[in-house]
Structure 1
Amino acid sequence: MTLLHLVSQQTMQNLLPLLAMRPSLVIQVRSSDERFRQAAEDLKAAVIAMRKQPGFHDLNPEFRDWDIGEATPGVDSSRRAVGEALAPWPQAVVNLTGGTKPMAIGAFLAAQSEGRPVLYCDTHQRRFTSMNDRQPLPSLPAFDDVATTLNVETVMAAHGIPISHWKFQTASAALTEFGRIAFELHIHHRSAFRDKLPASGKTYGESLRAHFRSENGSVPSKRSALQSLLESPLPTPPSEPVLAFLKAAESAGLLQRNHQGEFLPGCQPTRGDVQRVANLLGGSWLELYTLDLLQRAHPRFLDPHWSVEPSGSAEASFGETDLVCVDTAHAALRIISCKTSPKQALEHLTALSQRRRDLGGSHAKATLAVLEAGNNQPEQFEKWGRLLNVEVLVGTEIARRLSQP
């Protein structure tokens, strides 16, 4: 089978029909704009990534690029180019979803003239639609059956970010369980974590932060200082909810106890290990809670990755992102940032909106998950989110929204 499609920077509308049809030949018709030469290469990289997936090991189509010869092709030049590209392949299917409107119209007219089936990949309605009543499409699997085969590596490769350019952390079941317990404790016993303690004038969270970090917010770098920190007990838990929080962290391997029953950091005296424990106790547990929700929501959300960031050798234009997964309802990447109480919220939302485009193109989705927004702030967050195309979830809304089919 042969598939002809129009190249654009939004590659999912071309990748999904390719995965559905599994053609032996793919003809990529594009303008002479260099951006689309790269987009055509990105699609090839996505196919290579997809080949690692069970059931796709034999996905190995031949690709042929067809340059229309114009930076902004019109209807006539597009029709002519598509007609020429189709001529040797009487069984070809034309996917006109990509490209510009003039390119799509030209491709449609050429396909009609040549008597070829025409496909439209509707990612909003989640279906493959035939656009030529006289030439039906070959039998194809359902859109959702194809969308649920995607993984993060493939979708990011389709948008120009190969696996060699990023890395992520893994979370054990014990860690995600710690995240779940921490969330429940903070939701149901908020005052135990928010109220200032008479003895110190700080909240328990502020006391924890002071245990690990200097006034400028940094963890010690010298090994002797790190060793001393690991031998110093954490502040005594002032209440049962805080004690339960520390016990959950102990069960996850983040803390340990000495002979007196006091809690100590349970890690090696390296800056990275200490910083990891400090971050997870200080609020990154919300990422683990959200990761657990995503894992339980399979196949609504697929292949969730935690703490995605550029690899050391990559010249990448994206920063660290708490969670990245495939949102099968939109056949797109979903970027999720988690904050217990975000400061500079507008700046954070703006950066998150840009990061979703950097990682997954303009069709990617973004979510800001917030433990609490403060008085009168949820409405403001949601207003900013709508303007920036970022979904904002606060408190128990996180589970309600991410658990929906």
Structure 2
Amino acid sequence: MKAMLCLISEQHVPNLLGVHELEPDILVLLETEGMRKKDAANNFLKALAIGGRDYFTRHEIVPLKDGDSIEETEKALEGVYRKYRDAEWVVNITGGTKPMSIGAYEFFRHKENSRIIYISASDQSKAIDFSLGADIPLRHRTTVAEFLAGYGFDVLKYEKMKENEMRSERWLGLAAEIAARSQNGAVLGFLANLSRISNDRKGRDRGLEISEADGLFLSDDHLREMIASSFALACDGERFTGALDKYAVRFLTGGWLEVFTWGLLKGLDRAWDVHLGLQIERKNEMLQNDLDVAFMTDQSLRIVECKTGGQEHDREGSDTLYKIEAIRRQLGALRVQSYLVTTSENVIDSGTGKVKEHLENRSRLYGCTIIDPRRVAELARMYLAGDAQLNAKVAQVFLGG
């Protein structure tokens, strides 16, 4: 039998990676009172179950009174070790407090049936084996749902999200066409008019019936034909008529930027589990959030907020950054980075043509990358041209290279 010791902390990914790679028969979870109150061990078990490793009936929790005591740590381990003395032990000293790690190391380092491993925060592709000296490759790719579960969050309406992604796949080309023209005055006017009509009639909830009296026109022939074809609208000259369901309305009133961003990120080898319109909830705090786009890279979560239109309510662009940072903080995780993808000129300094200095400074403080309107249009043009360098450019913009 193989037993694996995990030192429980809020950062659960190193433990999760070790379990997936080494597949123990039983987990021994060393947990302080502070972590018990945060339900950290249960969150860890839930994250494992989501990834296909169910240890709810194959674990033992060992309570630790003082996580800052090496002696208390060794004392807590003595009893459980005697219980599984004949097991092959794997001891992951990555989590917990430093005294817990030292205590676990000291307790097991002279035991012939133990293997002590450590996973560096800077490189989670391998585990350092202090017993045998050879690195252990960690091949599991943590999903968004596994990552969030470790912090007490559930992903809501997963099947509806997948339906939305399948629907959006059909509209990806149209999303790129709109993104490429997102600084064009005629296109901006069309989108603004449609948003106004939608707001007046609650189109994002009910759908819209467009008549000639609405005067919804678009002079761009190619884009007009694509929109009409995609949503079975009629065109009398340059005017649209016909019915749009709520999903089409949501797409045309801003969702196209989310779809385009999602489509770009799906093409990256270094990004995985890319999702569109993710709804998450932490039940015990009645805390809910909607993430426009979310994905994983380097075993870390990335969240993307997309903004279109004039954003008249946020002329300086600061409110959106505050919102993104608030969401990131609510997740309670260290390895989370964020992005603001925007086609709004409110982030641009009219004098320099670059992102406003105060927004650039604040975004660096928050660990948030701003992807401005010109960069959005550039990526869209590369996408439409089938540019072979597109993925490399997307990786540079979103992943730093």
When normalised by structure 2's length, the TM-score is 0.79
Q: How is 1:93-104 mapped onto 2 (pairs within 5 angstroms)? A: 93-104=90-101
Check if 1:389 corresponds to 2:384.
no
1:91 match: 88
Relative to 1, partners in 2 of residues 1:65 and 1:35: Cα closer, same or farther, differing over 3 Å?
closer
Relative to 1, partners in 2 of residues 1:124 and 1:109: Cα closer, same or farther, differing over 3 Å?
same
Give the secondary structure class of the aligned counterpart of 2:193: helix
Check if 1:346 corresponds to 2:318.
yes
1:75 match: 70
Check if 1:207 corresponds to 2:193.
yes
The CA deviation string for residues 203-250 of structure 1, in whole angstroms up to 9 with x for no partner, is: 443333333333xxx626998xx7654675552224x3xx43333333
Give the secondary structure class of the aligned counterpart of 2:75: helix
CA contact (8 A) 2:156 2:279 kept: no
Q: Which moved more, 1:391-400 or 1:345-354?
A: 391-400
Check if 1:125 corresponds to 2:119.
no
Give the secondary structure class of the aligned counterpart of 1:114: coil
Q: How is 1:40-59 mapped onto 2 (pairs within 5 angstroms)? A: 40-51=41-52
Relative to 1, partners in 2 of residues 1:83 and 1:180: Cα closer, same or farther, differing over 3 Å?
farther
Relative to 1, partners in 2 of residues 1:35 and 1:366: Cα closer, same or farther, differing over 3 Å?
farther
- Mark the runs of 5 or more structure 1 residues left unpaired by the alignment: 195-202
- Aligned equivalents of 2:319, 2:289: Cα separation in 1: 14
How much does 1:37 deviate? Answer: 5.9
How much does 1:259 deviate? Answer: 6.1
- Aligned equivalents of 1:339, 1:221: Cα separation in 2: 16
How much does 1:182 deviate? Answer: 1.2
- Aligned equivalents of 1:20, 1:335: Cα separation in 2: 27
Q: Which moved more, 1:333-342 or 1:161-170?
A: 161-170
Once the two structures are aligned, what percentage of the paired residues are identical?
A: 19
Relative to 1, partners in 2 of residues 1:362 and 1:246: Cα closer, same or farther, differing over 3 Å?
farther
- Aligned equivalents of 2:45, 2:146: Cα separation in 1: 10
When normalised by structure 1's length, the TM-score is 0.78
- Aligned equivalents of 2:101, 2:205: Cα separation in 1: 61
- Aligned equivalents of 2:238, 2:367: Cα separation in 1: 48
Give the secondary structure class of the aligned counterpart of 2:171: helix
The CA deviation string for residues 306-327 of structure 1, in whole angstroms up to 9 with x for no partner, is: 112257x996413221011222
- Aligned equivalents of 2:118, 2:103: Cα separation in 1: 14
Task: Report the RMSD for the aligned CA atoms in angstroms.
Answer: 3.3
Q: How is 1:25-40 mapped onto 2 (pairs within 5 angstroms)? A: 25-35=26-36, 38-40=39-41
Check if 1:364 corresponds to 2:325.
no
CA contact (8 A) 1:117 1:137 kept: no
CA contact (8 A) 2:48 2:55 kept: yes
Q: Which moved more, 1:347-356 or 1:79-88?
A: 79-88
How much does 1:287 deviate? Answer: 0.6
CA contact (8 A) 2:265 2:271 kept: yes
The CA deviation string for residues 169-213 of structure 1, in whole angstroms up to 9 with x for no partner, is: 3243221221111112225xx34445xxxxxxxx44333333333
Relative to 1, partners in 2 of residues 1:228 and 1:21: Cα closer, same or farther, differing over 3 Å?
closer
The CA deviation string for residues 151-179 of structure 1, in whole angstroms up to 9 with x for no partner, is: 22222222212345776332432212211
Give the secondary structure class of the aligned counterpart of 2:33: coil
- Aligned equivalents of 1:222, 1:404: Cα separation in 2: 38
Relative to 1, partners in 2 of residues 1:38 and 1:393: Cα closer, same or farther, differing over 3 Å?
same
Structure with bigger strand share is 2
Q: Which moved more, 1:353-362 or 1:104-113?
A: 353-362
CA contact (8 A) 1:93 1:137 kept: no
CA contact (8 A) 1:29 1:66 kept: yes
How much does 1:26 deviate? Answer: 0.9
Q: How is 1:231-270 mapped onto 2 (pairs within 5 angstroms)? A: 232=213, 234-238=215-219, 240=220, 243-253=221-231, 256-257=233-234, 262-264=239-241, 266-268=243-245
Relative to 1, partners in 2 of residues 1:100 and 1:179: Cα closer, same or farther, differing over 3 Å?
same
- Aligned equivalents of 1:102, 1:18: Cα separation in 2: 22
- Aligned equivalents of 2:277, 2:339: Cα separation in 1: 15
